[in-house]
Every structure is written in C-alpha cells, then in structure tokens.
Amino acid sequence: MLQALSKNSHWQGRRGPLVLVIMDGFGYGKYTEGDAVTDSKLYNFRELEASCPHARLKAHGTAVGLPSDDDMGNSEVGHNAIGCGRVFAQGAKLVSTSIQTGAIFQGAVWKKLTANVLAAPGRTLHFIGLFSDGNVHSHIDHLKAMLVRAKADGIKKARVHILLDGRDVGEQSALEYIDPFEQFLSGLSEGGCDYRIASGGGRQYITMDRYGADWSMVERGWHTHVLGEGRAFASAHEAVVAYRAENPVLIDQDMHEFVITDAGKPIGPIVDGDSVVYFNFRGDRGLEITAAFENDNFDHFDRGRRLVAEYAGMMEYDGDMHVPAQYLVSPPAIDRTVGEYLAATGVPMLAISETQKFGHVTYFFNGNRTGKFDEKLEDYVEITSDVLPFEQRPWMKTAEITDYVLKAIAGNEYRFIRLNFPNGDMVGHTGNYQAVVCGLEAMDIQLGRLKKAVEKAGGIMVLTADHGNSDDMFEHDKKTGAVSRKPDGSPRAKTSHSLNPVPCVLYDPECKGEYDTILAEGLGISSLAASCIELLGFMPPDDYDPSILRMKD
C-alpha cells in the first residue's frame, strides 16, 4: 500500500468535488475543412474556454510513450498517461524494440509456438490481427518480422487471418496493404514453404469487439478464422474488390467476412495441434477472442468444438487476470497511479462511462489494472452502450452518464469524479461528418448541465481529452493541405485519430487566486495527474510530470 499523499499547507481544495471530464477524441484541428470540433455549435465549451484558464496539451507520439511524433495517440495510452502521471514506453514501442533486439524470438513462448508446429507434420502457424500500419492496435511490420523469423525457424506452413482497418488508416486502404503483402508472402513461400492469407473481414464486423459490447462479432470471427466458414473467394484481393463493387462507399472496417478457398475447401482453418498468435499489442480488443481460444467454460456462443491449440497474444492484455496465459512481449509495468494514491489517502472516487469507454476510465486509467484499489472508497459505473452503428445514435449515452454524475455531485459522496464522453472518438471513427457534429453538440449540452452542478456544489471541473479525432475528419494532402476528394468530388473521410493537441480547460467558480490563471504550456496529458492531485489539495509525487498549474505561495 502506498503512503498517503501529503496535504498542501497553502490550499485544501474546494468544498465540492473535482470532476475530470475526458471528451474522447476531441482536439484542436490543424485544417479548417474537416474540423468537426470547430464546425459544431459548442456553446458551453466555447464559453468555458473563453472565460476560464486553459491550455493545449500534447496527446500523441513521444508525449504518451509511442515511438515517434508521427504516431497518433489513442484512448488506451491516453488514459494510461492521464491516470499515471508519467510517460511509459507503450505497446508499439515495446514490441518494436523486442523485435529489433531479437528478444521476442528468444523468449520461451515463441520457441514453444514454433516447436509445437515442428513437432508433427501438417501443423500450421497462424497469425490473427489488425492488418495495417496504424500502430494503434498493431503494426504490419511486426507481422512481417514474425513471418520471416518463422521461416528461418523451419516453419513450412503459415496462415494469416487479416482484420481490415479503415479506422486508424485510410477508410478504403485495404488493397494498399493486401497487394504488397501478397507479394511478400509469395517470396516467403519459395523453397517449399506455403505462406498465405486464409481469411479476413472488417475489424468492426468480426473478431475485435471489446468490453463485451457485441459478442456476435467474435462469434463471426471464430467461424471465419477457426472453422473456415463464410463467403468464399480465391484471394483477399478478390474479396475486397467484390465487396466494393457491391457497395462502393463501404469502409474497410465494416467489410463482411471472407474465407480463401482452393478447389472449394478453405485453405487455412485453425485445427487441433496448430499454433496461433494474436498479434495485436493493445489489449481491449484482444480479450474476447482470447477467451474463445483459452477458456474451457465458455458460454458466449457455440464454438462448435473446443479447439486444442497453442495460443499466445502479442502482449499480456490483462495483468491482473493474466490474460492471455501466454504472450510474446511484456506490457509496461505501470504503478503508483492517481487512483492508487488517492485510495491510499482516503479520497472517495467515482469512475463512469458507457460500455465503449468504461474500461478506459477504470482499467487503463489505473495502469492496466483490473479491479479497485479500495472497494469502500471507489465506485465504478458502466452505462450500457447501444449495440448499433454509432452514426445512428451519435448522442450515445452522454445524457445518462451526466444524469448519474449530477446525482453524485449533489449527493456530495465523492471528492474525485472522472468520466468519459465517447462521442468524438466513437462517432468520429464512422467517418460520418454530420453524425460527428450531432454527437459533439449533444455532448456540449451535457457540459452545460455539469457546469451548473459544479458551480452549485462549489467544485472544480477540468475539461480535457485523451487524443484528437473529430477535429480531423477529412483526408488532406500532407504537402499542400488540400482536402483529398473522391471521384464524385466529395471529401474523402478520415476515420483515424489525429496528431493534434487537446484542450485543458479549468472551471473553478470559487477560485480565490491560489494559482496563476495562465496555465503552463507545452506539456502532455500526463501532466493532468499532478494537476488533479493539486486541485484536490494535495502535493503530487516528486516524479510525476509537472502540473499545468502555477501555484502561488
């Protein structure tokens, strides 16, 4: 158990709670066209921004532990940074380093997977994962490196089950990855090897569900990858071309399943005795498919048969539950988070969001830790998300989340409340501009309700985000900045996160001049941790990244 935080002798905080509002996917755009944040009528946010201390925070690249500043931030590393107050090397960087040093291939798990395949003739090494270089859930270079090593280790047969992206990369970019990859596999198949794509589909249609929101996605993935059931094609290229011919505006992430067949038979179903690598390094969308592979008592859908295979994830997706049982690269060891310190100090806390981001304000905010630090001091509330395309309900559950928080503020039960509004991110990923504007404006209505409640309670509200997304909804030419357009002249939608800074707006209606109204600039979102601790009247740990506040003596 950590030691309690020291009190600030100059300031004990406010009489009401501190409310940390994470507006997921809400940044300051670089371009005028395609910036739904600027385009939306955000009356409450703009009023707060204009009248309150505010700053812009970095939420991507090295500021959140990613390899370079060309890497967009994401909700997982963003909540890690906000919750732990320091920058840790994150999944992409850890995996890349492990591959570069060869450590991943010297590890016991890789050796076990390959030895299992080599132990009997006809066995196959399978790879399942997000098929792009978006570097949010996975990176295609990691997959290529493992395939090259597999051949060097004597593996004769490998199958790849690809989950099309269209979210962290261009919305219709699948063939930009599939075509050169097929050539890559063809080269590996020389010398008596057989390396091919076996199945696939869009990440939002098969396999990559999270938080138990839609297990039917995982069931479809299981039938596609494991049982070899689904619409048959001669190649992945053919599948993409066919689906697009039927629906020219189809985004890769929503593409239905496809199974590659030869002479009417699937070329790569996963069978007993095979080895499987789920090569995504991010955990939230890996837990459910992992459960389908690993759990004996599994009741979310009928698997058809209990597969007996050697399964491993790229990383450990849940450090407390130790899922998966086998993994290739260890995740960052994040300790001494804000939640743990506040629990040790006796601070009552509430964490709330809807299903899509519930794990972010709990598991990821707590440093990839499942469960509470103190059952008596913490309440975690999940509002069930609609199981519908987000563009059909762009307001999502902002009102329901706010309803609960208003009661919590009025009840004076908690000193620290953290919540996540998912609209800017989840609706932003759909590429539907009108829906994004609708979702942001719906969220803004709730900010107005929160403002009134915080003012009445004598609390503080901090508005921020974990990364950008809705601020950059169109594809732009990197050199000229011009909007990229489709043949019909309409803008080409961008469904991925942005590299833009995010806001930090500090609403403190009972401020008595304890800190400078000019907030520190040039900091990352990891500085929010020390800031929240200071706003609660405590001294942040010495090794936390600096607060945005300039406290007065």
Per the CB < 8 A criterion, the answer to whether 356 and 426 are in contact is: yes
SS (H, E, C) 285-332: CCHHHHHHHHCCCCCCCCCCCCCCCEEEEEECCECCCCECCCEEECCC
Q: What are phi and psi of 228, to 5 degrees?
A: 65, 35
- Report the b/e string of 267-288 with b at 16+ CB within 10 A: bbbbbebbbbbbbbbbbbbbbb
**Alpha-carbon distance 64 to 84, whole Å?**
11
The answer for residues whose C-beta is within 8 angstroms of residue 69's C-beta and 6 or more apart is: 60, 61, 62, 63, 499
Beta strands in 306-404 (DSSP E): 310-315, 327-329, 349-354, 378-383
Instruction: Choose, from 40, 51, 75, 470, the residue flagged as catalytic.
Output: 75
Hey, what are 417's tokens? Answer: 């409340």
For residue 394, is the peptide bond before it cis, meaning its omega torsion is within 30 degrees of 0?
Answer: no
Q: Are strands 18-23 and 460-464 parallel, antiparallel or unpaired?
A: parallel
Q: What would the DSSP string read from start to end of 161-178?
A: EEEE-SSSS-TT-HHHHH
Q: Indicate the burial class of 235 (C-beta count within 10 angstroms; 0-12, 13-18, 19 or more).
A: middle
Provide the 10 A C-beta neighbour count for residue 385.
21
Hey, what are 509's tokens? Answer: 């209606």
Q: Is 266 helix (H, G, I), strand (E, B) or coil?
A: strand
Q: Which of 340, 393, 384 is nearest to 362 (CA)?
A: 340
Q: Which of 462, 447, 361 is nearest to 398 (CA)?
A: 447
Per the CB < 8 A criterion, the answer to whether 62 and 463 are in contact is: no
**Alpha-carbon distance 7 to 154, whole Å?**
61
> Which helix (H) or strand (E) element contains residue 182?
helix 174-188
Per the CB < 8 A criterion, the answer to whether 113 and 277 are in contact is: yes
With vertex at residue 466, the alpha carbon angle to CA 461 and CA 469, rounded to the nearest 5 degrees, is 115
Helix axes 174-188, 236-246, angle to 10 degrees: 160
**Alpha-carbon distance 50 to 73, whole Å?**
26
Active site residue 75: yes
Q: Which of 348, 399, 393, 355 is nearest to 374 (CA)?
A: 348
- Return the active site residues: 75
